[in-house]
Structure 1
Amino acid sequence: MKKLCSSSKNAEAQIQESSKSEDADVKRTVMYGNFAWVFFHQNQFIKSLTYAKKVRTILKQYESPPRKQTLLLDIYGEQGWTYLSFTGKYYQRAAECFEKALELDPEDPESNSGLPWLCIEWKVSDTVATQKTNERAVNLNPSDTVVKVLLALKYLYMKNHDQGAMLIEQALQEQPESPYVLRYVATFYKRRGQIDNAIAIFKKILTLTPTSCAVYYQLGTCFKQLIRMPKALKGQSTHDNRQQNAEAIANAIFYSEKAVELNRSSVAAHNLLINVYMKTNEYQKAKEVFGKALTIKSMRCEEKQELHLSWAQYLMNSRKSESEAVRHFKEVIKIQSETWFRGTAIKKLQSLAETMIVQNAMDATGHALLGYIHQQRGQDIAALEYYEKALLLDPDNQEYLEACSALQATLS
């Protein structure tokens, strides 16, 4: 608590020294509001109220409409960029702040720069409207190289490759040593399919930020794209082709393993390494990393669904292990988060069940799986019919018996 109060005093002193009066008021308003929020959630209500009153005192000085609009514009901008400094779950709030700022002043340079950033990082809807926002941001910020590379990525999405490439060249000339700019340049090349160019840029970034998990991850994904399966090499089985493929495999493994090593809690890095091992038929290594990934405490529901879905598809398609695949499809479906991963798992499981029944109409497992799928969709009557059919075919199956009893109780 003492440390928090000390931080408040130090921050206020720095604001006073480094900012003009109006800028200082904006920063103090944001800072006081943050401290009021922190103290409130720590049940320090007197301190919280003290900071809330400080906010109110500043706002009273800006009660006239023009001054109030100026203050609010800067506050929304500060809040937007603050939210962007945290994880993706705060990006929605960042977008709302920038949109509020643009309602007050559509030509505000900071907010026009913030929204294009969100379009790339958060994948906000790609529309002509967001392209115009990017173009306006470039016009308002002609010296902002980051905005240029963001617009280049937007042009790429809009199939205007030449315009995007021109902006990328400008960015490379203006800031050839900026890791932040180079990151988007590499992303441009990667999305355009120029993997060798993307790798060269990512390697350059690595010399500037040698411990970046994100850069190792990106290099891993690039080399993974260059891996060619044995069937694809049959018609071109030259020494050079095999050598290039072996190098792509070695590099994909190296950079993916390094990404995991640098950030043990990165689900994306684990998932990449698993997929590289799956693609190179390293089943035991893939299984080991998959097990480690499941122990990550900070894993979100969607990430867990993706992990199980990818593993289930690998087990079914490459390992021909239907029973194990079914178990992992069910793990995806168990997580009650309506995502693409869950919908895909249900479709894959239904397709597998129908195939089982086509191959053998007396297959109890196939009927039980259809019962499970209908149950997940809230179709309890149809689910009960399928489970009863499964129980007739396999009378001693405890799972089917319990499912029938539960459904009967629900429907009675």
Structure 2
Amino acid sequence: MGSTDMEDKLRQLECLFTWGVKQSDIADLNSILQKLHDRIRFCPLKYHATYYNLLAFISHLEGKTDTALDYLQKAESALKEDQRKETEYLVTFSSFAWIHYYLQRINDAEEYLNKVNGICKDIPGSSVYSCSLPIIHGEKAWSFLRLGRTFYEQAKESFSKALKEEPDNELFNVGYAIVLYRLHGMTQAEDPGKVIAQLRKALSLEPANSEIMVLLALKLQGSKRQEAQNLIKEALRLSPDVPQVTSYVAKYFRTEGNIEESLSVLKRAVELAPNSSFLHHQIGLCHKQQLIQMFEEKKHGSRISAAQKAAKVSECIQYFSKAVELKPNNIYAKVNLADAFGESRQLGEAEIIFCELIDDNTLSESEKQHCHTSYGLFLLYKKKDEDKAVSQFKLAFRIPVDTYERKQAGKKLKMIAERNLNNKKKVKEALEILALISSEKGQETQAKKYQQRAQQHSSHTDELTQDFAKRLEF
């Protein structure tokens, strides 16, 4: 068989090699690899084949095709151990065919093509080497979910397709709940009620899923605290040593203000998963919260020494730095690290991080907002550069995503504008800022009034300038 004929057949298969995944789209391969290994170590067997398939694909992308073959053999073993149906081998067999082809083992590749064909031929509506089954959509969805934020929308779409055929499938509902939770956290675009409803459905189908428990608890924390607390207790009872669970438990405690409890949980978790960027970031956030508490106590008359503050800032830098080292594209850890550098007066270090972030074209809209707003606050309060801060706040506020950061940017813009209305040199800029805020809020009439006042002030200023220039001529 010619290589062209073989490639034509391979392209018909359903697996990561044909799902349009490019290495450049994967935000951080090393971090994903570590997460997959951690999940295989701590998660139930039913997820292992998916994760081994992912490890095989990523190994191939890194040029380690022999290693990829080892992972696929582990995927097949996991499927056998879990006594999975024949159709659930399709993605793994398809990946085998591709890997053998890349290793120039054409006979082996042909063997796996025949295995796929042998399964597909008994499925109504299938083609020679592929079929549209819920299990394929589900496998695709889980793969996209674990490849990171770039693929979340595709994961959501694939889970939706799978659930249309099997609305009560446990794995599909769990995955769909997780991706909705992640998307809501990233963009706030998902309806929180929909996220909670899906988390509840997933938990009803898989009552012992402690990861779903903690995600639901975090969503209920502000509205149904008792239920949230009960979920956290049960999750800890079921999974006291599973980092994917305890990290969220720690986040829950931190949000509750119970920093010591959060740190205790996180320190146990990081011993089990020392290469988790998420865990180091969460520990850093706890120390940051303690730093904020120090500032609050100082406001109310408590004595906080410079040494105490410096020690706490140093701990923030330590853990945020580690989080960034382990996952260089951890945007929020980078911002927190920059903020910590700002607190320690290492302004140059902070500036470097912020400049890198605002030049990053891969960021989502909400991430851009977060970076611009954070940089604006740094410029305003640490560098005392109001003009540059205003520029950053404007960039954040103009992004039409309703987030806390956008509200914060708008609040700071309004504060600066109202303060500068009494400054003759800055009245025009202040009115233009107020016009921008009104316009972005859809208050066009008010925006026009501010803009007209700004233009009138500009004209008046120009007349004064011209008059002054004429006087100089004499």
Measure, in 2, the Cα distance between the counterparts of 1:343 and 1:358. Answer: 24
Q: 1:112 aligns with which of 153, 173, 180?
A: 173
Hey, what does 2:272 align to over in structure 1? 208
Tell me, yes or no, if structure 1 residue 187 matches structure 2 residue 255.
Answer: no
Confirm or deny: 8 A CA contact 2:141 2:154 kept in the other structure: yes
- Aligned to 1:312, the other structure's residue is in SS state helix
Hey, what does 2:192 align to over in structure 1? 126
Confirm or deny: 8 A CA contact 1:367 1:389 kept in the other structure: no
Question: For residues 374 and 143 of structure 1, do their structure 2 counterparts lie closer, same or farther at Cα, with a shift above 3 Å needed?
Answer: closer
Q: Between Structure 1 and Structure 2, how many residues are aligned?
A: 375
Hey, what does 1:308 align to over in structure 2? 372
Q: TM-score, normalised by structure 1?
A: 0.70
Question: For residues 187 and 116 of structure 1, do their structure 2 counterparts lie closer, same or farther at Cα, with a shift above 3 Å needed?
Answer: farther
Superposed, 1:307-326 pairs within 5 Å as 307-317=371-381, 319-326=383-390
Structure 1 residue 160, shift from structure 2 partner: 3.5
Tell me, yes or no, if structure 1 residue 99 matches structure 2 residue 184.
Answer: no
Q: 2:141 aligns with which of 73, 80, 88?
A: 80
Q: TM-score, normalised by structure 2?
A: 0.62
Give the letter aligned to residue 170 of structure 1: E
Confirm or deny: 8 A CA contact 1:365 1:390 kept in the other structure: no
Confirm or deny: 8 A CA contact 1:357 1:366 kept in the other structure: yes
Confirm or deny: 8 A CA contact 2:250 2:261 kept in the other structure: yes
Measure, in 2, the Cα distance between the counterparts of 1:265 and 1:19. Answer: 33
Q: 1:338 aligns with which of 374, 382, 400?
A: 400
Residues 185-204 of structure 1 show CA distances to partners (whole Å, capped at 9, x for unaligned) of: 22222233322111111112
Residues 21-71 of structure 1 show CA distances to partners (whole Å, capped at 9, x for unaligned) of: 9834344268759999xx9xxxxxxxxxxx999989865632289xxxx97
Tell me, yes or no, if structure 1 residue 393 matches structure 2 residue 393.
Answer: no
Confirm or deny: 8 A CA contact 1:257 1:273 kept in the other structure: yes
Measure, in 2, the Cα distance between the counterparts of 1:200 and 1:214. Answer: 16
Q: 1:23 aligns with which of 81, 85, 98?
A: 85
Confirm or deny: 8 A CA contact 1:182 1:205 kept in the other structure: yes
Measure, in 1, the Cα distance between the counterparts of 2:264 and 2:426. Answer: 57
Tell me, yes or no, if structure 1 residue 145 matches structure 2 residue 200.
Answer: no
Give the letter aligned to residue 111 of structure 1: F
Instruction: Pick which of 81-90 and 145-154 moved more.
Output: 145-154
Confirm or deny: 8 A CA contact 2:358 2:372 kept in the other structure: no
Confirm or deny: 8 A CA contact 1:30 1:78 kept in the other structure: no
Confirm or deny: 8 A CA contact 1:315 1:324 kept in the other structure: yes
Measure, in 2, the Cα distance between the counterparts of 1:245 and 1:106. Answer: 53
Measure, in 1, the Cα distance between the counterparts of 2:412 and 2:253. Answer: 34
- Aligned to 1:61, the other structure's residue is in SS state coil
Measure, in 1, the Cα distance between the counterparts of 2:410 and 2:198. Answer: 39
Question: For residues 197 and 374 of structure 1, do their structure 2 counterparts lie closer, same or farther at Cα, with a shift above 3 Å needed?
Answer: closer
Hey, what does 2:332 align to over in structure 1? 268
Q: Which runs of no fewer than 5 residues in structure 2 stay unpaired?
A: 8-59, 102-111, 185-189, 466-474
Confirm or deny: 8 A CA contact 1:119 1:125 kept in the other structure: no
- Aligned to 2:133, the other structure's residue is in SS state helix
Hey, what does 2:351 align to over in structure 1? 287
Give the letter aligned to residue 213 of structure 2: K
Question: For residues 305 and 394 of structure 1, do their structure 2 counterparts lie closer, same or farther at Cα, with a shift above 3 Å needed?
Answer: farther
Q: Which runs of no fewer than 5 residues in structure 1 stay unpaired?
A: 40-50, 398-412
- Aligned to 1:237, the other structure's residue is in SS state coil
Confirm or deny: 8 A CA contact 1:186 1:199 kept in the other structure: yes
Residues 312-371 of structure 1 show CA distances to partners (whole Å, capped at 9, x for unaligned) of: 2343355543223233334546xx742345676466445534542344388454456567
Hey, what does 1:90 align to over in structure 2? 151
Structure 1 residue 234, shift from structure 2 partner: 5.2
Q: CA RMSD in A?
A: 4.7
Tell me, yes or no, if structure 1 residue 223 matches structure 2 residue 287.
Answer: yes
Task: Report 1 or 2 for greater relative contact order, CA contacts < 8 Å, sequence distance ≥ 6.
Answer: 2
Confirm or deny: 8 A CA contact 1:364 1:394 kept in the other structure: no
Measure, in 1, the Cα distance between the counterparts of 2:90 and 2:179. Answer: 26
Tell me, yes or no, if structure 1 residue 168 matches structure 2 residue 232.
Answer: yes
Structure 1 residue 120, shift from structure 2 partner: 3.5
Superposed, 1:336-375 pairs within 5 Å as 337-340=399-402, 341=405, 345=409, 348-349=412-413, 352-360=416-424, 363-366=427-430
Structure 1 residue 271, shift from structure 2 partner: 0.4
Measure, in 2, the Cα distance between the counterparts of 1:9 and 1:246. Answer: 50
State the identity as a percent. Answer: 25
Confirm or deny: 8 A CA contact 1:346 1:373 kept in the other structure: yes
Confirm or deny: 8 A CA contact 1:260 1:266 kept in the other structure: yes
